[in-house]
Amino acid sequence: MLAPMKYAAPATVEEARALLAADGGARVFAGATDLIPQIRAGRPEPSMMIDLKRIDRLSGIARAGSTWTIGAATPTADIVAHAGFAAEFPGLAEASGLIGSDQIQNRCTWGGNLVNASPAADTPPALIVNDAKAVIASAGGERTVAAAEVATGPGATCLGADEIIVEFTLASPPPRTADAYLRLIPRTEMDIAVVGAAARVTLAPDGAVTAAAVALGAVAPTVVRVPDAEAALIGGPLTDDALEAVAQAASAACRPIDDKRGTVAYRRRVAGVLARRAVAIAADRAAADQRGASS
């Protein structure tokens, strides 16, 4: 046994919020792949675990028009396996498929990955370059915030004590647009990122970059956007010089710390390398994107 805790599996968001409001020591969870090891290590010590997986609205992947809605408790394995979604967001699918093992991906969720607020989490950079929005159930109803605004520091979020992320929304990318996510870890699988880099690129038919987004994980308390890299790309073709400018901008944008996974100098360097490579992969995918061919 981990600790003396109550367990609840509410069927609605309202019930879950009521349980949270009534017990200050309660924690919501879906996959608990971060939370259970934390509890085992002694922190936190919840009085109650509120299982969100029995709430219908929190699980599932749907597209209505050009808007995708993904339940906050949907296992990332389902996202990886969803061919339609992965075709539009290959980088976000990659990030979702890099968290731990198959065992972990059958449990872990975007919602959990975001609210655990580890600086090294894999999906937030990829959510952020795709301008994902989190729909949050609050006392006053619901509010929508950018995924980029959810984590405010290591282990800290913008969520109030009785708030729950219900779902994420994403707009289908425009034609000739694609994303990519890369990370560096000591092994091939299972490790926590030393650096993660997500990129999204939109190309004009002539190959010029018309829109770009670059975001880095594990190099600052929260995910870092790299506007200088984006500016270096937009308006021109994807030249080696432009890619080098991306690398330099990414390295410059880092505010890393020395820790057991990497030093400041190394993280800066790798952030540049991975940002450059991620942009190149995203651009290749965008160029190959057939969705825009008929429009």
Partner 1 sequence: MPSGSILGNAVPRLEDPDLLTGAARFVADLAPPGLAHAAFVRSTMAHAAIAGIDVGGAEQAPGVIGAFTAEGLGLDPQPFFYIIPPVFGRPPLAAEVVRFVGEPLAVVVAETPAQAADAAELVEVDYEPRPALIDPEAALEPGAPLLFPANGSNLASEYSSKAEPGALGGHDLVVSGRFVNQRVAAAPIEPTAVLVEPGAGGDDGGVTVWCTSQTPFGARDAVAAALGLDPGRVRAIAPAVGGGFGAKAAPYPEFVVTAWLARRLGRPVKWVETRSENLVNMVHGRDYVQYYELGLTRDGDFRWLRARATANVGAYPAVGAFLPSFTMSMASGPYQIPAVDFHASGAVTTTTPLGAFRGAGRPEATAAIERIVDLAAAELDMDPVELRRRNLLSPDQFPYETPTGAVMDCGDYQRALDQALETAGYDDLRAEQRRRRLRGDPKLMGVGVSVYVEVTGGLSQEYGSVEVTADGTVVARAGTSSHGQGHATSFTQLVGEVLGVPPDRVRVVHSDTFEVPRGIGTIASRSLQIAGSAVFKTAHEVLERARRIAAHRLEASVEDIVTADDGSGLTVAGVPARAMSWPELAAASTGGDLPDGMAPGELAAEIDFDQGAATYPFGAHVAVVEVDSETGDARLVRHVAVDDCGRILNPMLVRGQVHGGITQGAAQALYEQVLYDEDGNPRTANFADYCLPGPTEVPAYETAHTETPTPLNPLGAKGIGESGTIGSLPAVQSAVIDALSPLGIRHLDMPYTPEKVWRAITESAPSPA
Partner 2 sequence: MSRVHVTCTVNGDETEFLCDGGQTLLNALRDELGLTGAKEGCGTGDCGSCSVIIDGRLTCSCLVLAPEAQGAAVLTVEGLASGDDLHPLQQSFLEGAALQCGVCTPGILMAAAALLDRNPDPTETEVRYGLAGNLCRCTGYDKIVRSVLAAADSQRTTSQRTNTEETA
Residues whose CB is less than 8 angstroms from the CB of residue 265 and which lie 6 or more positions away in sequence, other chains included: none
Verify binding: residue 210, partner 1, rule CB under 8 A: no
> Does residue 103 bind partner 2 (CB under 8 A)?
yes
What mask, x for binding partner 2 by CB under 8 A, covers residues 50 to 69? -x-x----------------
- List binders of partner 1 among 179-198 (CB under 8 A): 184, 186-192, 194
> What type of residue sits at position 90?
P
Write down the residue that tokens 């971060």 correspond to.
34
Note the residue count of the chain.
Answer: 295
Q: Find the binder of partner 2 among 19, 36, 171, 287 (CB under 8 A).
A: 36
Q: Are 179 and 91 in contact (CB under 8 A)?
A: yes
Report how far residue 29's alpha carbon sits from residue 111's, in angstroms, rounded to the nearest whole number. Answer: 9
Binding partner of 192, given partner 2, partner 1, none, CB within 5-8 angstroms per partner class: partner 1
Among 41, 38, 19, smallest CA distance to 28 is for 19
Binders of partner 1 among residues 228 to 267 (CB under 8 A) are: 260, 262-263, 266
* Amino acid letter, residue 217: G
Q: Are 210 and 203 in contact (CB under 8 A)?
A: yes
**Interface with partner 2 includes 100 (CB under 8 A)?**
yes
Interaction between residue 205 and partner 2 (CB under 8 A): no
Q: DSSP string spanning 218-276?
A: SSSSS-EE-HHHHHHHTTS---HHHHHHHHHHHHHH-----BTTB-HHHHHHHHHHHHH
106 binds partner 2 (CB under 8 A): yes
Instruction: Restricting to residues 2-61, name those near partner 1 by CB under 8 A.
Output: 41
**Is residue 77 near partner 2 by the rule CB under 8 A?**
yes
Positions that interact with partner 1 (CB under 8 A): 1, 41, 184, 186-192, 194, 260, 262-263, 266, 269-270, 273-274
Positions that interact with partner 2 (CB under 8 A): 1-7, 9, 31-33, 36-37, 39-40, 48-49, 51, 53, 75, 77, 100-104, 106-107, 188-190
